[in-house]
């Protein structure tokens, strides 16, 4: 990570989740991808984990969000022992994230820049990859009504 707050996250004991849901917006079918990572920093002694969360709304078949309003993200980190409050970055300034959504793989890959509007500081997350592989990863989207 780079920017005003450079942090190194420990991949070994990190937890990650990625999921998909379907919806509609503006009369079009959409896919919403949620990705969350919680990991401890290795560059400072932190008692609480750092959290990175990304939510993107994709029009069916797209590999990246169509507009900036279709991407939400935040990065919250604790600077070290004795910190009273975490540093939080929640405004997306630049995104080069791409998404793969299929029944056998869900992936978020790329880079992301976030800014804290209160302090003006920025953080850049580079070489970000979160992938889930398997079978039957997507929820059913059949359009068939099932009544009890």
Which residues are CB-neighbours of 147 under 8 A, at least 6 positions away?
none
pLDDT value of position 142 = 61
pLDDT value of position 27 = 84
| C-alpha R_g of the chain | 17
pLDDT value of position 143 = 60
pLDDT value of position 148 = 59
Handedness of CA 68, 1, 106, 104 (dihedral sign): positive
pLDDT value of position 1 = 64
Which residues are CB-neighbours of 86 under 8 A, at least 6 positions away?
48, 76, 77, 78, 79
| Ramachandran assignment for 99, one of left (phi > 0), alpha (psi -120 to 50 degrees), beta (any other) | beta
For the chain (148 residues), the mean pLDDT of every run of 10, in chain order, is: 75 89 85 92 83 91 82 87 82 91 91 89 89 85 60
pLDDT value of position 108 = 92
pLDDT value of position 35 = 94
User: Which H helix or E strand runs over 71?
Assistant: strand 71-77
């Amino acid at each position: 990570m780079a920017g005003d707050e450079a942090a190194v996250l420990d991949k070994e004991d990190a937890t990650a989740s990625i999921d998909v849901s379907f919806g509609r917006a503006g009369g079009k079918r959409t896919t919403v991808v949620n990705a969350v990572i919680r990991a401890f920093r290795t560059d400072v002694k932190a008692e609480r984990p750092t959290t990175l969360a990304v939510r993107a709304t994709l029009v069916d078949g797209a590999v990246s969000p169509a507009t900036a309003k279709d991407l939400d993200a935040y990065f919250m980190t604790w600077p070290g022992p004795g910190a009273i409050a975490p540093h939080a970055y929640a405004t997306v300034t630049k995104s080069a994230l791409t998404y793969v959504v299929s029944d056998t793989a869900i992936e978020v890959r790329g880079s992301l820049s976030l800014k804290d509007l209160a302090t003006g500081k920025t953080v850049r997350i580079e070489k970000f990859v979160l992938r889930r592989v398997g079978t039957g990863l997507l929820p059913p989207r059949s359009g068939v009504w099932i009544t009890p």
